[in-house]
Amino acid sequence: MARRKLIAGNWKMNGLFGEGTTLAKTLADRLASAGPVGFDMLICPPATLVRTVAGLAAGSPLLVGGQDCHAKEKGAHTGDVSAEMLADAGAGHVIVGHSERRQDHRESDAVVRAKAEAAHRAGLVAIVCVGETREERDAGRAEEIVARQVGGSLPEGADGANTVIAYEPVWAIGTGLTATAADVAGMHAHIRRELEGKVASPGEMRILYGGSVKPSNAGELMAIGDVDGALVGGASLVADDFWAIAETCR
């Protein structure tokens, strides 16, 4: 079965009400008027905008998600947002284990796994991020690190319907550097092999590439066999750029 491409935009800590709603409405209107496009488009705004953006996307094919969630359903966790809260606000997806969370908040594979389990509990699709640092790649440990993250971060019951993997080489995020096509093809094939025996129907799980994806390199990246879409950072904040990336998947 052919895997449908997913173009996901991670707005990170960007987007006030005015600019965020304008961007979301622009994308929702384009999708609604474009007819069958052959790809899924997802935007993950900051938690303050999820409900508003979900409302703007209603009636269009535009998908909405959160950028992180707590592992617990509720409780004394000041400042955190549960998966159930995201679902209640209209989200259908949530990113877990992004490299910035793993680095800045010292999130382990076990923490990421618990968050993915929470996403499934709330009926959300978990986008589980994995990826190596420059030092780990230079030391020849990239595949080892990513295999460990895949094995430790995917919860029991993960499958192509409730889970997406995003490979994001940490050294290519926000740096302007992009892994070569050979690097990406090799790692995505490695991840696909690692899914064998770990998930049901591993050939159905989408693996996104995330690492300075932009209109100028998206076509080459999206043409790679095991690349099933992109997790886009900065370019997702510009409607024309984000749309141009998605258009390479037609």
pLDDT number for residue 1:
59
Active site (annotated) includes residue 220: no
pLDDT in tens, the chain (250 residues): 589 999 999 999 999 999 999 999 999 999 999 999 999 999 999 999 999 999 999 999 999 999 999 999 999 999 999 999 999 999 999 999 999 999 999 999 999 999 999 999 999 999 999 999 999 999 999 999 999 999 999 999 999 999 999 999 998 887 777 789 999 999 999 999 999 989 989 999 999 999 889 999 999 999 999 999 999 999 999 999 999 999 999 8
Taken in order of first residue, the domains within the chain and their CATH numbers are: 5-24+39-67+80-247 (3.20.20.70)
Pairing outcome for strands 207-209 and 125-130: unpaired
User: What pTM did the predictor assign?
Assistant: 0.97
For every residue of 94-119, which 3-state class applies, written as one string?
Answer: EEECCHHHHHHCCCCHHHHHHHHHHH
From the list 70, 168, 188, 194, the catalytic residue is 168
91: left (phi over 0), alpha (psi -120 to 50) or beta: beta
From CA 167, how far away is CA 164, in angstroms rounded? 10
Distance between CA 127 and CA 23 in Å, rounded? Answer: 22
**98 in active site:** yes
- The answer to whether the beta carbons of residues 60 and 30 sit under 8 Å apart is no
pLDDT at 2: 83
* Angle, helix 17-34 to helix 50-57, in steps of 10 degrees: 30
Q: What are the tokens at 224?
A: 């790679």
Quickly list DSSP for 161-193: TTEEEEE--GGGSSSS----HHHHHHHHHHHHH
* 102 vs 210: CA distance, rounded Å: 15
Catalytic residue from among 70, 84, 93, 98: 98
